């Protein structure tokens, strides 16, 4: 079923996403090569579509990698401090190196995100929780702590209000020329797919992975680097979008299992489809205005997260 | 083939292995027995390279194992520990396919596929090959993990309490499979086992450990004696010869009174 249905659904959503927006594009205008319509399409709609698809793919793959490293189904960038650390990194970059530009901010976000997830993984490995839910709860607490530091920092530097504005995931700012950093997710996806078997072995735990001849520490660190790159690229371009990396891998695992070589493409497609659907919804709800995707995806994802926890812990 | 020389392991100031020197016979089934905390599993984990020893060395065919790359070691020694915390949602076939990971690193060849099929056949798992692990009983799961270990095609297999939590039928099936691995394929198996009767009836060689040191070792008939087991476990034993081996009765041995 997934071979045909899922790509079709994804293409359909892509098509709808291109057609929906504040300014109407009609097929006839495109057909008659109207400059206006083409400009809307190439400068705004297509970049937005690319950003949406790449973000959805990147975030859901991040979730998968983190879940294999921590060996807990409820871990993703938003529940392990990675997302909040990336925000903090951007703030620090803004104040320390105001002229750094997007790539400089990205680098700060990347380093902060990587360090925060390394600390988180170290904490979890040290405490050895047996409780399934405690692991993400610790991550949420840890994330809130980092977030609080970020807010205090922003308050001290008088950028609190702008921070809250641009950190809420939002695709309406994506236009040609200011989103290209998101293409960094493409090589990440390719690398993750090439390493899919290794990441599955990672999920078997350190002992079994070592018995199978895998260099556990090196593979785990590689995974965290891949996660840090995708998270910082998405936070820089579109802001924070929680729960996508959690909900998608879990739903896919229920139906297709967790042999990543087989399921990663499905996870990627579902991630893109979920984000596209949330974005279209956000654009239609109060048309011609928009609800930021951080809100729509956050609430849809949050509810699904709660349902999954209740269902798993029954 | 596997030789231990003056192996020493301590956690903090608590010694778990104290100057252990041993040679495990190749092509035989060796059971590690002894009371809880004797250091059996620690010893096995040191051989598996999942725990570093503090002193001493372990030689595989004369080569110090710490000098072998971990990826190469996985083609020579396969380890199965108790898998209580395995929560990946994989099918039996997918799991067994990971036994080929040390060779293929992800891309299965036709040879790999054949080994996977043979391993599934060997344990009679073909009917379950498409089932998810979390839908299986404990015994079936253990069989699946053993099949994965078998698919690694190593000369040496290390099994840490493979019979834990299994019912009698599955325990017998696993031990029979281990016996066949040795007899039909010439593999060397070292396992930690708590049930003295399984050890006495299915292994060639026994290493008895107590307090981190080797208490006694040798062919089954030499180790499984009333006096030796009594000294090892602090329990009275009554050893009854059976058609195929020994039955050790420690539940209600008739001689028990003189000991207590």
pLDDT > 90: what percent of chain B?
A: 79
Compute the count of residue pairs across chains A and B with CB atoms less than 8 Å apart.
Answer: 71
Mean local confidence (pLDDT), B141-159: 95
Q: Under an 8 A CB cutoff, do B152 and A212 touch?
A: yes
Could you say which DSSP state residue A203 is in? T
CA distance linking residue A290 with residue A305, whole number of Å: 24
Note the pLDDT tens digit of each residue in B116-148: 999 999 999 999 999 999 999 989 999 999 999
| Cβ proximity of B129 and B117 under 8 Å | no
Verify whether the Cβ–Cβ distance A214 to B83 is below 8 Å. no
The predicted pLDDT at position A231 comes to 93
Burial class (CB in 10 A: 0-12, 13-18, 19+), B107: exposed
Residues of A in contact with B85 (CB under 8 A): 71, 205
Enumerate the β-bridge partners of residue B91.
B132
What is the rounded radius of gyration, in angstroms, for the C-alpha atoms of chain B? 19
How do residues B42-70 score in pLDDT, each as one tens digit?
Answer: 999 999 999 999 999 999 999 999 999 99
> B57: which strand partners?
B5
Q: Which helix (H) or strand (E) holds A167?
A: helix A160-167
- B96 and B62 in one domain? no
End-to-end CA, chain B? 42
Residues B166 and B164: their CA atoms lie apart, in Å, by 6
Q: What is the CATH number of domain A47-312?
A: 1.10.3470.10
A-chain CB neighbours of B78 within 8 Å are 211
Q: Which residues of B touch A71 (CB under 8 A)?
A: 85, 87
Handedness of CA A251, A254, A259, A263 (dihedral sign): negative
Interface of B with A (CB under 8 A): 48-50, 70-75, 78-81, 83, 85-91, 94, 98-99, 101-102, 105-106, 132, 152
pLDDT at B252: 82
Between CA B94 and CA B127 the distance in angstroms is 14
Phi, psi dihedrals of residue B80, rounded to the nearest 5°? -125, 115
CA distances from A4 to A8, A10, A190, A208, A266 (A): 6, 10, 22, 36, 11
Q: What are the per-10-residue average pLDDT scores of chain A (314 residues)?
A: 83 89 70 76 88 94 94 88 90 85 88 94 83 85 92 87 75 82 94 94 92 93 94 89 90 91 94 93 86 87 84 72
* Domain edges within chain A: 47-312
Instruction: Spell out which residues of chain B touch residue A201, defining contact as CB-CB under 8 Å.
Output: 98, 101
Q: Residue B106: its pLDDT value, please?
A: 75
Nearest to A258 among B73, B81, B90 (CB): B90
Q: Do B98 and A200 touch (CB under 8 A)?
A: yes
The sheet carrying B14-24 orders its strands as B14-24, B2-11, B55-60, B63-64
Q: Examine the domain organization and report whether B69 and B166 are in the same domain.
A: yes
* Same domain (yes/no): B99, B61: no
Question: Could you tell me the CA-to-CA distances from B37 to A158, B34, B194, B199, B244 in Å, in that order?
Answer: 61, 8, 12, 18, 30
- Residue B3 and residue B50 in one domain: yes
Smallest CA–CA distance, residue A80 to chain B, in Å, is 19
Asked if residues A152 and A84 have their Cβ atoms less than 8 Å apart, the reply is: no
Q: Is A196 on the interface with B (CB under 8 A)?
A: yes
What is the predicted pLDDT for the residue at B113? 95
Q: Does A177 touch chain B (CB under 8 A)?
A: no
Lowest-pLDDT range of A107-111, B109-113, B250-254: B250-254
Q: Which residue has the higher pLDDT, A134 or B92?
A: B92
B30: in domain = yes
**Residue B209 and residue B206: Cα distance in Å, rounded?**
10
Nearest CA in chain B to A214: B71
Q: Considering its fold, how many domains does chain B have in total?
A: 2
Are residues B163 and B62 located together in one domain of the fold?
A: yes
Instruction: Decide if B43 is inside a domain.
Output: yes
Same domain, B198 and B223: yes
Centre a 10 Å sphere on the Cβ of residue A45 and count the other Cβ atoms it contains.
21
Residue B224 and residue B99 share a domain: no
| Tens-digit pLDDT profile for residues B183-233 | 999 999 999 999 999 999 999 999 999 999 999 999 998 999 999 999 999
Residue B33 falls within a domain, yes or no? Answer: yes
- Asked whether residue B144 falls in the same domain as residue B93, the answer is yes
Which domain CATH number covers B199? Answer: 3.40.50.300
B248 domain-assigned: no
Global ipTM: 0.88
Same domain, B123 and B215: no
- Please give the pLDDT value at position A176: 82
Helix (H) or strand (E) holding B77: strand B77-80
A201 closest CB neighbour out of B72, B91, B101: B101
> 3-state class of B29 per DSSP?
strand
Same domain, B113 and B221: no
- Euclidean distance between the first and final Cα of chain A, in Å? 29
Given A200, A210, A261, which is nearest B50 (Cβ)? A210
Structure tokens at B50: 């999942």
**What does the pLDDT read at residue B260?**
43
- Residues B16-21: what's their mean pLDDT? 93
* pTM of the predicted model as reported, rounded to 2 decimal places: 0.89
Residues of A within 8 A of B142 (CB-CB) are: none
State the nearest Cα–Cα gap between A37 and chain B, in angstroms.
47
Q: Decide if pLDDT at B255 tops 70.
A: no
Cα A27 versus chain centre, distance: 32
Domain containing B88 equals 84-153
């Amino acid at each position: 079923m997934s071979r045909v249905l899922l790509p079709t659904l994804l293409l359909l959503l892509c098509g709808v996403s291109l057609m929906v927006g504040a300014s109407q594009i009609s097929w006839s205008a495109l057909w008659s090569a109207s400059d206006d319509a083409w400009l809307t399409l190439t400068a705004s709609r297509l970049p937005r579509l690319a950003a949406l698809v790449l973000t959805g793919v990147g975030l859901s793959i991040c979730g998968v990698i983190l879940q294999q490293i921590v060996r807990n189904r409820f871990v993703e960038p938003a529940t392990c401090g990675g997302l909040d650390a990336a925000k903090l990194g951007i703030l620090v970059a803004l104040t320390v190196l105001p002229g750094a530009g997007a790539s400089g901010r990205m680098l700060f976000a990347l380093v902060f995100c990587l360090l925060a997830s390394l600390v988180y993984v170290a904490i979890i490995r040290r405490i050895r929780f047996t409780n399934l839910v405690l692991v993400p709860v610790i991550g949420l607490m840890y994330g809130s702590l980092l977030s609080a530091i970020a807010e205090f920092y922003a308050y001290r530097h008088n950028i609190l209000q702008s921070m809250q504005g641009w950190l809420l995931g939002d695709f309406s700012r994506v236009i040609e020329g200011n989103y290209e950093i998101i293409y960094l997710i493409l090589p990440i996806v390719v690398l993750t797919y090439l390493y899919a078997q290794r990441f599955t072995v990672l999920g078997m735990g350190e002992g079994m992975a070592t018995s199978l001849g895998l260099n556990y520490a090196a593979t785990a660190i590689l995974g965290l680097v891949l996660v840090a790159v995708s998270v910082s690229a998405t936070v820089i371009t579109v802001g924070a979008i929680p729960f996508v990396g959690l909900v998608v891998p879990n739903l896919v695992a229920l139906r297709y299992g967790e042999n990543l070589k087989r399921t990663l493409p499905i996870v990627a497609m579902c991630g893109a489809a979920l984000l596209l659907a949330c974005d279209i919804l956000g654009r239609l709800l109060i048309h011609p205005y928009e609800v930021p995707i951080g809100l729509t995806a956050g609430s849809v994802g949050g509810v699904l997260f709660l349902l999954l926890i209740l269902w798993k812990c029954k | 083939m596997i030789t231990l020389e003056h192996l020493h392991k301590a956690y903090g100031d608590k010694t778990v292995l104290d100057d252990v020197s041993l040679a495990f016979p190749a092509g035989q089934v060796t059971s590690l027995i002894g009371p809880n905390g004797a250091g059996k599993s620690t010893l096995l984990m040191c051989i598996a390279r999942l725990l570093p020893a503090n002193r001493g060395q372990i030689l595989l065919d004369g080569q110090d194992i710490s000098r072998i790359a971990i990826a190469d070691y996985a083609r020579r020694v396969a380890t199965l520990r108790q898998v209580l915390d395995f929560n990946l949602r994989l099918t039996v076939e997918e799991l067994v396919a990971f036994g080929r990971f040390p060779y293929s690193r992800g891309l299965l060849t036709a040879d790999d596929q054949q080994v996977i099929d043979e391993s599934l056949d060997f344990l009679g798992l073909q009917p379950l090959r498409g089932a998810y692990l979390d839908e299986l009983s404990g015994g079936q799961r253990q069989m699946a993990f053993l099949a994965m270990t078998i698919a690694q095609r190593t000369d040496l297999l290390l099994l840490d309490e493979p019979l834990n939590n299994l019912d009698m039928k599955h325990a017998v099936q696993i031990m029979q499979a281990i016996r066949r691995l040795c007899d039909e394929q010439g593999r060397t198996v070292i396992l930690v086992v708590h049930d003295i009767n399984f050890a006495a009836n299915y292994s060639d060689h026994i290493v008895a450990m107590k307090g981190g040191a080797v208490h006694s070792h040798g062919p089954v008939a030499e180790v499984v004696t009333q006096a030796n087991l009594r000294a090892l476990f602090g329990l009275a034993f009554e050893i009854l010869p059976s058609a195929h081996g020994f039955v050790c009765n420690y539940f209600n041995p008739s001689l028990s009174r003189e000991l207590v």
